[in-house]
Amino acid sequence: MKQIYTKMILAAAVGLLTASVIHAETLVEDKFDAPKKTGRDLSPNRGEWKLDKGIATCTQDDKLYEKNKNHGPIMWYSTSFKDATVRFAYQAEKCKQFVFTLNDDKGHVFRIVHGANGLSVRAWPPAEAGKEAKAAELIPRGTKTPALPEGSWVAAELRFEGKKCMVSIGDFKQTFEHEAIAKEKTKMGLGFSFGTVSVKDMKIETTAKTAAR
């Protein structure tokens, strides 16, 4: 019996020695405390973001919205990842919709739109030769989801792992799966249409994993 316990202890020790934890690496962290930041584009041609006390705030300029073919203010981050966790919080006032977008070098990959009618989640599969890629709706039409609240902060966390994305937006939590989610993402955007939006606590970090050595 003593020999069996000794073997079990040795096996556990070997397991600990042959496994290593790959800690999360911060790819982007924006505290909105400086007007310029490497990898961030506040897109002033679409609207002026004001940074104050760790919060970025922008009010849509309707003339710029029309000039940009009905595209509202947005901030872009250039960073590449496949598996990562994205966190941020946003507050909307008199806003039609808030938009989270991920692109690759060829175009759209993944998008979440939060508006008065709730949430929509879309992914873009590879386009057929000579054709434009068509978005796949990952939430069936008619599904009831939380509407964009007026004047309240909404915490968002999106965890990307392979073909899956675990989405947490306020009280809404759901895991989505689509082949496009596994693509290499190279650009992330936070934008909106109409009204005023504030953003804070923006961070992207790789996913911590356990791997054999």
Quick one: pLDDT at residue 211?
A: 60
The answer to whether residue 8 scores a pLDDT higher than 90 is no
CATH code of the domain occupying 24-208: 2.60.120.200
Quick one: pLDDT at residue 58?
A: 98
Quick one: pLDDT at residue 4?
A: 52
According to the per-residue pLDDT averaged within each range, which of 21-25, 96-100, 122-126 is highest? 96-100
The answer to whether residue 12 scores a pLDDT higher than 90 is no
Q: Where are the domains of the chain?
A: 24-208
Residue 132 burial (10 A CB sphere; 0-12, 13-18, 19+): exposed
Average pLDDT over residues 167-191: 97
Quick one: pLDDT at residue 130?
A: 67
Phi, psi (deg, nearest 5) at residue 66: -70, -40
